[in-house]
């Protein structure tokens, strides 16, 4: 084989082998089902085994979450939510697809945790009224004026907001 043909056929393969894999991994979706929670202090709790809910139709876990249809009820006294002690603290509830942000002692906001740009769900940080996706560094607001949909390739805008209601230590999130 001629040297030129050999290099032409072999070099792209070798180049891809060295650089291509890291490029593909950097722009791919991550395995978002690997954890149930992540918060601004890297608190990660694995999935718990579900058991039936006595009220019927829902799923209760020892993690303090009851999911029934479009409603998610959070027991804020559960130790998994101890990282929500100050305004600005948040937790990523990957098992139910929600970012939960503490606004004040009596107000919480809930958001879709799916990155509008890339669809990833498990790598978020929060500061200055914005969530930042750890996959590509895109920032998304929380005011709900310019909502961008999950996986739409948008690199800015606001995350979809879900309604919340607080009754004592029980927070209900409605995702419809």
CATH number of the domain encompassing residue 86:
2.102.10.10
Question: Residue 53's pLDDT band (boundaries 50, 70, 90)?
Answer: very low
157: left (phi over 0), alpha (psi -120 to 50) or beta: left
Query: pLDDT (tens digit, 9 = 90+) per residue, 118-174?
Result: 899 988 999 999 999 999 999 999 998 899 999 899 999 999 999 999 999 999 999
Q: Full-prediction pTM beyond 0.75?
A: no
Query: How many structural domains does the chain have?
Result: 2
Query: pLDDT (tens digit, 9 = 90+) per residue, 12-46?
Result: 555 445 545 444 444 444 444 433 444 444 333 33
**Residue 1 pLDDT > 80:** no
pLDDT of residue 49: 27
Give me the domain span that covers residue 1.
Answer: 1-30
**CA distance to 15, 20, 27, per residue, from 5 (Å):** 16, 22, 31
- Tell whether 77 and 134 lie within a shared domain: yes
> Locate tokens 């907001």: which residue?
161
Torsion sign across C-alpha atoms 110, 115, 121, 124: negative
pLDDT of residue 5: 66
- Cβ partners under 8 Å of residue 128, min gap 6: none
Q: Which backbone phi and psi does 153 adopt, to 5 degrees?
A: 75, 10
pLDDT of residue 62: 78
**Residue 114 pLDDT > 90:** yes
pLDDT of residue 14: 56
- Tell whether 57 and 10 lie within a shared domain: no
- Tell whether 71 and 156 lie within a shared domain: yes
């Amino acid at each position: 084989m001629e040297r030129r043909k050999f290099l032409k056929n072999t070099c792209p393969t070798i180049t891809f082998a060295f650089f291509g894999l890291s490029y593909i991994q950097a722009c791919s979706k991550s395995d978002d089902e690997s954890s149930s929670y992540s918060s601004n202090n890297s608190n990660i709790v694995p999935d718990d085994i579900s058991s039936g809910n006595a009220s019927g139709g829902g799923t209760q876990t020892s993690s303090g979450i009851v999911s029934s249809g479009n409603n998610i009820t959070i027991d804020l006294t559960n130790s998994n939510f101890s990282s929500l002690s100050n305004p600005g603290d948040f937790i990523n509830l990957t098992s139910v697809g929600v970012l939960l942000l503490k606004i004040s002692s009596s107000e919480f906001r809930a958001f879709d945790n799916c990155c509008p740009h890339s669809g990833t769900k498990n790598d978020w940080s929060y500061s200055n009224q914005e969530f930042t996706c750890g996959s590509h560094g895109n920032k998304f607001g929380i005011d709900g004026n310019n909502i961008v949909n999950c996986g739409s390739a948008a690199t800015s805008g606001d995350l979809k907001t879900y309604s919340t209601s607080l009754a004592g230590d029980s927070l209900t999130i409605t995702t419809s």
